[in-house]
Structure 1
């Protein structure tokens, strides 16, 4: 709970709020949007605190817990930052192997597929990534228009969840040599990394190169 002073055309009103419901001084109940946080998120650190406040929808009460700091799959913030760091790692690995990103067909030749059967259909794996990447400009516009950073935060989770399974096929495996397909896969992965980095930056959250 807490107190807040609200400016309005008729002057000021003092409200008592608790869990998204507020009582104005004359007793009328109003809904506060976004729902106020139950406690100070500052102890989580700046990145986790911002995520804790910006990721929930306006009608949801923010969770101010240490779960936002845990480095495991169940933490959406970790998945987003890990996906970005993983893309950057693969870019450095590609540079060591002497190739760079270049758009093109994602599938390997039949000979390459015979060597690494786990990556026979990276284009199929990438299909789940194309939609959230192409939707990113629309999500940005909607988030800005409706002052809804939660839309951007949730979209970053969607991008991260789509790109992570694809990343296993970006670098050559086993006896493979770098090919046009690997350059194309790296280009798609780096596009996702750019979206993740840009989205986190707009939310005021660091996008680490290493994690």
Structure 2
């Protein structure tokens, strides 16, 4: 989970260096199953936190973060978040970097709730 967080931060740094405009709007860019799986886990996070707090079950947060980290690595492997070679940055790259950023934010939040650091570099 910590490595997944640091990888999301590295993607943001690399995207900046490559000129990926992450502020560029994209229209429904998430079509790949790995993207939609990641989006679903991100959307479930508030419900998981609420349930974990109500039941006093921090293990629910840990398990959700584990699933989120696994889904992030599938996304990272199956969907190129950064342009390759001479490829120009596109709206798809921007959307994928935004998705990686959201994943990093949720991972950092959950790790901190569990008392675990979320390093930007590993």
Task: Assess same fold via TM > 0.5.
Answer: yes
What is the root-mean-square deviation of aligned Cα atoms in Å?
1.6
Please state whether the residue corresponding to 2:15 is helix, strand or coil: helix
Matched, 1:183 2:104: no
Q: Give the greater-gyration-radius structure (CA).
A: 1
Matched, 1:106 2:29: yes
2:111 maps to which residue?
200
Tell me how far 1:131 sits from its aligned partner.
Answer: 1.5
2:35 maps to which residue?
126
Write the mapping of 1:91-170 to structure 2, written as runs, cut at 5 A: 91-102=12-23, 104=26, 105-106=28-29, 123-168=32-77, 169-170=80-81
Q: Which runs of 5+ in 1 are unaligned?
A: 1-79, 108-121
Q: Which runs of 5+ in 2 are unaligned?
A: none
Write the mapping of 1:44-55 to structure 2, written as runs, cut at 5 A: none
Q: Is the 8 A contact 1:87 1:167 kept in 2?
A: no
How many residue pairs end up in the alignment?
A: 118
Structure number having the greater strand percentage = 1
